Amino acid sequence: MLMRSDSFEAGRSVAAPSRQGPSLVSRMMLRLESYAEQRRQRRALLELDDHMLKDIGLTRADVVRIANQPHDWNKI
C-alpha cells in the first residue's frame, strides 16, 4: 500500500478507505433480490399462452423446464 506524505495529521495516520467488497448483509440482499426477480420472470413465462411463447421462440415444454430449474445462489 502506498502512503502519501500528507496522510499524517497531528501525529496520527488517516486510514485509507476500505477496499473490501459488499458486506455479508448486502450480498444476501442482492441474492434475495436476484431470486425474487428470477421467480417473477419464471411466473410471467408460465402465464403466457402458447401463441405468445411461439412468438418468442419457446414451447410450453421449454417454459416448464425453465420454471423447474433451481435458482443458482452463487450467480451474484
Give the angle subtended at the CA of 62 by the CAs of 31 and 33, to the nearest 5°: 15
pTM of the full structure: 0.62
Q: What is the pLDDT along the chain (76 residues), one digit of tens a residue?
A: 455 555 455 556 666 666 788 899 999 999 999 999 999 999 999 999 999 999 999 999 999 999 999 888 776 6
Q: Rounded CA gap, 21 and 27, in Å? A: 9
